Amino acid sequence: MALSTQRDSAFLPSPHQSAPQPNHDVFLSFRGEDTRLSFVSHLYHELQLRGIKTFKDDPKLGRGTPISSELFNAIEESRLAIVILSPNYASSSWCLDELTKILQCMKSKSTVLPVFYHVDPSDVRKQTGSFACAFAEHEERSREDVEGVKCWRAALTEVASLSGFDSKNECERKLIENIVEWVLMKVHRKFKLLDSRELVGMKFIREHIRLLLAHPTDDVRFGGPTEAQGGAVASPLAGKSHGCVGFVPLLSSVLKRYYQGASR
């Protein structure tokens, strides 16, 4: 029972510790031998490509040894967790410890996404099929840690009851796209678009536009953010320009004058 007590104490934060600040958008939990060089590799690439800070454990970390504090810290410092439930996931005590920690840390279960990768969700929920074989071995090796094995079973039952994605009848490319879109939806909710008055340099830009448009001219002028600045600048700039100098009506007026001149 000492092992169970040690595991439980590792999962529970000290009452004197404050909640850690998110340092990662996503924590990936997966069975390396099943998915590291295939599905997880492609998923991680797409997440990074979208600017999503993702924690993926170092393959050099020693499997078979007690889960490291580094991984516990990474789970605590992550906004979301994606759990790739593959055929051999439950054979790893490390993965099961990760899963237990994830469910304890993520108070809102809408921040945990199970992905049933080549497994039936009912096998995960009921620990049947390959999961039954894995737990037969765990129970044989951990006769003195019955409570710990029960915690693992409960964690699998809980995660399998959450809404997630199933790889059955779905190509991997589409599956990865769906996962990335889910993450983007969750992550983007954390950001609030600032009023343009709060954006550095916006006052100068608005005043510069005022000066350019203040004097009548026969020139046709176009102004706006560059592609690199994107919508975060375009929306407040267009909104303020419209409110201050009538940007949209003015553009219409300029185009009208241009065509009138061309028809003379």
Selection from 106, 100, 88 nearest residue 26 by Cα: 106
Angstrom distance (rounded) from CA 17 to CA 81:
22
CA distance linking residue 175 with residue 35, whole number of Å: 14
Residue whose tokens read 């170092």:
58
Q: Are 96 and 152 in contact (CB under 8 A)?
A: yes
Closest CA to 123 of 84, 87, 82: 87
Angle of CA points 231, 237, 242, to nearest 5°: 125
Catalytic residue flag (residue 98): yes
Tokens found for residue 100:
């237990």
DSSP string, 212-236: HHHS--SS-------TTT-HHHHHH
Residue that the structure tokens 């350019």 belong to: 212
Per annotation, catalytic residue among 70, 76, 98, 170 = 98
Contacts of residue 258, defined as CB under 8 A and 6 or more positions apart, other chains included, come to: 220
By the 10 Å C-beta count (0-12 exposed, 13-18 middle, 19+ buried), 141 is classed as exposed
Residue 193 has what DSSP assignment? P
Contact assessment for residue 86 and residue 37, using Cβ atoms and an 8 Å cutoff: no
Active site residues: 98
